[in-house]
């Protein structure tokens, strides 16, 4: 890895963890970008380097990078490498907010199916958040 390419601190990628390996990489890179640890223009490790660092296949890393590129979070330059897009952090945050909305909608459906009335959902969610703070 060159001195210009940052070492990424992604959570361990594991077949035992939820989600496909490539999706775990996508999620980890989005987090690094949205939290500002990878800034616009920052070089990402090569496919080979990241595959070696994470002990996954080259195809897995390639698929993750392709997904991020399709979302406009990163871009590739032939012969130069892969970089964080100028609006990468914004797009990453938008993507993560979309995922959060989907999860909240799923949680609301589950709560309603468990017998909580729609009007009581805000209080239920607030109670749940308060319990998280205490743990």
Distance (Å) of CA 61 to CA 18, 29, 130: 17, 11, 38
Phi then psi for 109, rounded to 5 degrees? -60, -45
pLDDT at 100 over 60: yes
What is the model's pLDDT at position 3?
Answer: 47
Q: What does pTM read for this prediction?
A: 0.67
C-beta of residue 8 within 8 angstroms of C-beta of residue 24: no
Looking only at Cα atoms, what is the longest distance across the chain?
A: 57
Output the CA–CA distances (angstroms, integers) from residue 37 to 11, 23, 68, 104, 134, in the order listed: 14, 19, 16, 27, 28
Domains of the chain: 1-135 (1.10.10.10)
Q: What is the mean pLDDT of the chain?
A: 87
User: DSSP secondary-structure letter at 1?
Assistant: -
Encode pLDDT of 15-71 as tens digits. Answer: 888 888 999 999 999 988 888 889 999 999 999 999 998 999 999 999 999 999 999
- Is the pLDDT at 2 greater than 70? The verdict is no
Beta strands 81-84 and 43-44, pairing class: antiparallel
Report the b/e string of 119-129 with b at 16+ CB within 10 A. Answer: eeeeebeeeee
């Amino acid at each position: 890895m060159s001195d210009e390419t940052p070492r990424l601190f992604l959570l361990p990628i594991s077949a035992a963890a939820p989600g496909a390996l490539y999706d775990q990489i996508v999620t980890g890179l989005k987090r690094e970008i949205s939290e500002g640890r990878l800034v616009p223009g920052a070089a990402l490790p090569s496919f080979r380097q990241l595959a070696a660092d994470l002990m996954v296949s080259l195809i897995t890393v390639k698929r993750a990078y392709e997904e991020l590129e399709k979302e406009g979070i990163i871009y590739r330059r032939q012969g130069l490498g892969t970089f964080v897009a100028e609006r990468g952090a914004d797009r990453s945050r938008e993507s993560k907010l979309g995922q959060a909305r989907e999860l909240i909608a799923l949680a609301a459906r589950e709560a309603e199916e468990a017998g909580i009335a729609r009007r009581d959902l805000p209080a239920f969610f607030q109670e749940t958040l308060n319990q998280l703070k205490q743990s």
